Structure 1
Amino acid sequence: MNRYLVPASLLGTAVGGAVLFKDYVSGGACPSKATIQGKTVIVTGANTGIGKQTALELARRGGNIILACRDMEKCEAAAKDIRRETLNHCVNARRLDLASLKSIREFAAKIIEEEERVHVLVNNAAVMRCPHWTTEDGFEIQLGVNHLGHFLLTNLLLDKLKASAPSRIINLSSLAHIAGHIDFDDLNWEKRKYDTKAAYCQSKLAVVLFTKELSRRLQGVCVASVFP
């Protein structure tokens, strides 16, 4: 009996340590049971990944969720999945292409016209490590989608968010912002050899700086950048 005691104890310690490490790295589970009935939430890039999981959890909590995505077929499918899983029928798909200033303006105009309030804006959508593509308006794609598109969207909806206070703006960032450097003389990588990693880091640093400045300026609206 005793010869099994030490190995069993070591195994238990290892398993317990692994569980604690996993919780430490992942941040653990959110303990809040808060509900958001009557609150309108916009989540960009919500047809997959972090965006979809965010929309799913907020739909479970009773919110009026708007999925804002470029691909409407995938967006409608995601909205259908979330409605089925949560039994929350206030989950809707809207087209938003963050690589197009025209699309952003059209989306914002529709939200302003149709929604009485917007309580939470989750700027989640992003592209990563792309070739040297440009947006419809000529911006380097990672800066254009990850920062500039959300910058315009946020500012277009700012009056609606202020009127809905207390409200929140959540910008999805990345630890990659630490390695970021913003070259104001060549934001679109027209003078240098394109570095897809550095361009991504620049875009995420821009997100963090935008968040900090917006937070400093606003009252009644909580602004935060989140590294998932």
Structure 2
Amino acid sequence: MSVYRNTIWFLKGIHEFTRNGYEAASKHFVEKDLEVSVSGRSFMITGGNSGIGKAAALAIAKKGGTIHLVCRNKERAEEAKADIIKESGNKDIYVHLLDLSETRKVWEFAEAFKKKHKSLNVLINNAGCMVNQREVNAEGLEMNFAANTLGTYILTKSLIPLLEKCSNPKVITVSSGGMLVQKLHTDDLQSERGRFHATMVYAQNKRQQVVMTQQWAKSHSNIHFSVMHPGWADTPGVQTAMPDFHRSMKDKLRSPEQGADTVVWLAVSEAADALPSGQFFQDRSAVPTHLPLAWTKVTPEEELKFMNILEDLAKSFQPH
């Protein structure tokens, strides 16, 4: 079945996830959806110093939004801030240093942010990683899971009270179409069994993000949650984590701006606001979260079990 999934997924990817796929989909975009001002609204973007995160930050800054860049590296973050200010003319750009794989520090950052800032309108969970060898963080958690899943969970959960204070709050998570080849598994979240396959671990994390988004949408009806696939984009992350894929597909990859388009659309457009919460998007359209006949669906009970595991893990690292 995994061969079937991978084959169907790759054929779908060549057709839809490439630059050509974006150009075909964009013919149906409504230009006025992005002809808006978001002055007075604040946006937190994790991994905002390069690739899709930086492209989204710049586009939103040009529309007047206050941008909080959450990045691992101070030097690269400050360079990104300077670039965004220069290109947008918007000086309301702020840098925060955080590595989402450092579990306790995610809690500490979120709690400190809530004390300093009275509001947050939009959280964009963009940061992610693909560590190609199995490594663990200071808390003993597998690095990809710590950053992509638990870090995203803790940051979002901690900031929900701040988001709920605002009008029209949103949470947007940048997932991946790679999750379509994965069924949610709750029995080996730390990738301790069998051979470690970084691409599949990453895809599993991205499936987990989709499930988290769907569950959050059910439990927090006053926040609009969405999760999206940016397509196959030419970003530093892809170049570093998947050099062979990047080399073979380079001419077909989307630009970071094309990859970020749906993030920006979800973050600022009224058209996106009118759609149900909890959906998975690709090129400004809600799309299925499972491939046909791929056997990747699980029961609602399994999804709740996953959320309970995350909650217990998150609490175990929460500062007291």
TM-score range, shorter chain: 0.7 to 0.9
CA contact (8 A) 1:165 1:220 kept: no
CA contact (8 A) 1:162 1:221 kept: yes
The 1-side partners of 2:25 and 2:131 are apart by 24
Q: CA 1:25/1:143 → structure 2, altered by over 3 Å: closer, same or farther? A: farther
CA shift digits 1:145-178 (9 cap, x unpaired): 1111010000010100111131000010111111
Q: Which moved more, 1:180-189 or 1:115-124?
A: 180-189
Where does residue 58 of structure 1 map in the other structure?
60
Q: CA 1:195/1:217 → structure 2, altered by over 3 Å: closer, same or farther? A: same
CA shift digits 1:7-65 (9 cap, x unpaired): xxxxxxxxxxxx98652256776722111111110000000000000000110010110
SS in 2 for 1:94: strand
The 1-side partners of 2:108 and 2:29 are apart by 37
Code of the residue aligned with 2:122 in structure 1: it is: V
CA contact (8 A) 1:51 1:125 kept: yes
SS in 2 for 1:157: helix
SS in 1 for 2:164: helix
Runs of 5+ unmatched residues, structure 1: 1-18
Where does residue 226 of structure 1 map in the other structure?
228
Code of the residue aligned with 1:46 in structure 2: it is: G
How many residue pairs align between the two structures? Answer: 210
Q: CA 1:131/1:156 → structure 2, altered by over 3 Å: closer, same or farther? A: same
- 2:49 counterpart of 1:47: yes
Q: CA 1:187/1:167 → structure 2, altered by over 3 Å: closer, same or farther? A: same
**Deviation, structure 1 residue 102:** 2.3
SS in 1 for 2:83: helix
Within-5 A mapping of 1:75-114? 75-114=77-116
Where does residue 12 of structure 1 map in the other structure?
none
The 1-side partners of 2:86 and 2:152 are apart by 29
The 2-side partners of 1:204 and 1:68 are apart by 20
Where does residue 169 of structure 1 map in the other structure?
171
Where does residue 186 of structure 2 map in the other structure?
184
Runs of 5+ unmatched residues, structure 2: 1-18, 231-320
Which TM-score applies when normalising by structure 1? 0.86
Within-5 A mapping of 1:70-219? 70-128=72-130, 130-219=132-221
Where does residue 255 of structure 2 map in the other structure?
none
Instruction: Give RMSD over aligned pairs.
Output: 1.9
The 1-side partners of 2:219 and 2:27 are apart by 29
Which TM-score applies when normalising by structure 2? 0.62
Q: Which moved more, 1:130-139 or 1:156-165?
A: 130-139
The 1-side partners of 2:68 and 2:28 are apart by 27
CA contact (8 A) 2:103 2:150 kept: no
Q: CA 1:78/1:220 → structure 2, altered by over 3 Å: closer, same or farther? A: same
Where does residue 67 of structure 1 map in the other structure?
69
**Deviation, structure 1 residue 181:** 2.9
Where does residue 23 of structure 2 map in the other structure?
23
User: Looking at CA atoms only, which structure, 1 or 2, has the larger radius of gyration?
Assistant: 1
The 2-side partners of 1:158 and 1:22 are apart by 32
